[in-house]
Amino acid sequence: MSDKAASKKPEKVFQTTSHIVINPFYTPADMASFNYDAQLSAPGSFPYTRGVQPTMYRGRFWTMRQYAGMGDAEESNKRYRLLLASGAMGLSVAFDLPTQIGYDSDHPFALGEVGKVGVSIDTIEDMQRLFDQINLEKVSTSMTINASAAVLLALYIAVAKRNGFDPQKLSGTIQNDVLKEYIARGTYIYPPTSAMRLITDIFAYCNQNVPEWNTISISGYHMREAGSTAVQEVAFTLADGITYVQAARDAGLDVDKFGPRLSFFFACHSNFLEEVAKFRAARRMWAKIMRERFGATTPKAQMLRFHTQTGGVTLTAQQPQNNIVRTGLQAMAAVLGGTQSLHTNSFDEALALPTEDSARIALRTQQIIAYESGVTAAIDPLAGSYYVEHLTDEIEKRATEYVAKIDALGGMLKAIETGYVQQEIQNSAYEYQKSVDSKEQVVVGVNQFAVEHEKPVSLQKIDPELERRQVERLKAFRAKRDQGAADEAVRKVDEAARGGQNLMPIIIEAVEHNATIGEICDAMRKVYGEYKEVMVI
């Protein structure tokens, strides 16, 4: 061997974030075993690889949402009305941490957290202020709420009824996905079995009383934020979905009736074509799972409909204006992947809640893609690309292997209890951070192309008096209510939690009798106890 040959550097291996090796180029030979008839039927046809609607965005655009919660119900209401006036098609509500874990604003655990990462909601009057002057029959509302989802949905229904709206005409989504809380996010309250009971009660109640409501948004987003790969995001999200469907069937619900009201929530990161392929693979996998595993026969019960949010964890505090480009890239990938709903992050979110200007830019990003890019004229415009189809197949194959592994462990609840899923995500997060530290993975403005002196950006400020005002409002609310009626309503929640009846009508009655979120959640805490996190070593 010559000295020149011996000194030759090995060729760099290119791969996606899920470690799928990328060939230098792709040809028809790479698709020799690809079954076009089975995998690439027409859009709107099983297995929905190319989209869940026959016309997709030629018929109507995705729902353009902007996630917002400004600490105070009045301020949040102003932001929602601004977004609606700017062309947003739906609302997406961020709640503060006390609300998410079922504590009133005057609880000791809420100290210092009231209104910090979203809007603070304690009472039906707070919910009334949040949606003041908004037509709930015409606006689709998404609420990022999980452990206390039943109470927030009850408040939404109660406020709608109070304002003369018909619950049968309400549309929107509650996230209501507690399994991913145990895996990646941490805003759980009750142990899994009790939490699953609440979820199936919501399924059954809404099926009869709020038929246009999506009763769960099975969420991979937070697992991706915690460090999962794209493949893991698909696999673990669909494994959670399998668990919810099985629980609903065990509760006696018909998969063809509740299946159409299931929705999903994914992140979209910057590895552009992997993200497009991820969404296509997820649709195909879920269609097969629902038909072959659960016997769903109606097309709507087989379709995976999903909301996308651009990747919060990809935003950088350094050179934050770069995040506008990241968000645009990710939003385009979500659209090419066939999302039904989209939230685009504001460029300043690594530093603070979005300002009005940054939120408007984020919304305009979606509108420019919709009206100016031309990508909405064709359905699944990247279909047939040898590379995209190869990635779609690889993601499906690898995610299916993960699902089989989880089945072998005894299902997702067992996999969570043993810490398997959490450990897989932690390992991926560690690998990614090592690649950033070694500069194998370039993050523009952070480990490459940094600048010494950056101009500061204007940030949204939260009023430091907000917590005091919210606590005062809560005390005034309690002082003027019929205390006996509130106490009796809370007692009925306790009684229903111990029994077998559906909890949703009881919780709606409780909020209508002016019980607070904390009081209702505490009643169920006494019955169910609280979940203690499994520590993964």
Structure confidence at residue 33 (pLDDT): 65
Tell me which DSSP letter residue 260 carries: G
DSSP string computed for 208-220: HH-TTEE-EEEE-
Q: Where are the alpha helices (DSSP H) in 122-191?
A: 124-130, 149-162, 179-180
What residue has token string 């009796």?
488
Structure confidence at residue 468 (pLDDT): 95
Show the tokens assigned to 11.
Answer: 């060729």
Structure confidence at residue 2 (pLDDT): 53
C-alpha 119/C-alpha 67 separation (Å) is: 11
CATH class of 28-437: alpha beta
Structure confidence at residue 454 (pLDDT): 86
SS3 306: strand
For residue 68, the cross-strand partners are: 93
Which secondary structure element, helix H or strand E, spans residue 66, and what is its range? strand 63-68
For 10, residues 6+ apart whose C-beta sits below 8 A from its C-beta are none
Where do the domains of the chain lie? 28-437
Tell me the whole-structure pTM to 2 decimals.
Answer: 0.92
Structure confidence at residue 534 (pLDDT): 67
Position 59: which residue type? Answer: G
C-alpha 138/C-alpha 238 separation (Å) is: 31
Each of the 537 residues of the chain gets a pLDDT tens digit; together they read 455 555 566 678 899 999 999 999 998 887 766 666 566 789 999 999 999 999 999 999 999 987 777 778 998 999 899 889 989 888 989 999 999 999 999 999 999 999 988 999 999 999 999 999 999 999 999 999 999 999 999 999 999 999 999 999 999 999 999 999 999 999 999 999 999 999 999 999 999 999 999 999 999 999 999 999 999 999 999 999 999 999 999 999 999 999 999 999 999 999 999 999 999 999 999 999 999 999 999 999 999 999 999 999 999 999 999 999 999 999 999 999 999 999 999 999 999 888 889 989 999 999 999 999 999 999 999 998 999 999 999 999 999 999 999 999 999 999 999 999 999 999 999 999 999 999 999 999 999 999 988 888 888 777 889 999 999 999 999 999 999 999 999 999 999 999 999 999 999 999 999 999 999 999 999 999 999 886 655
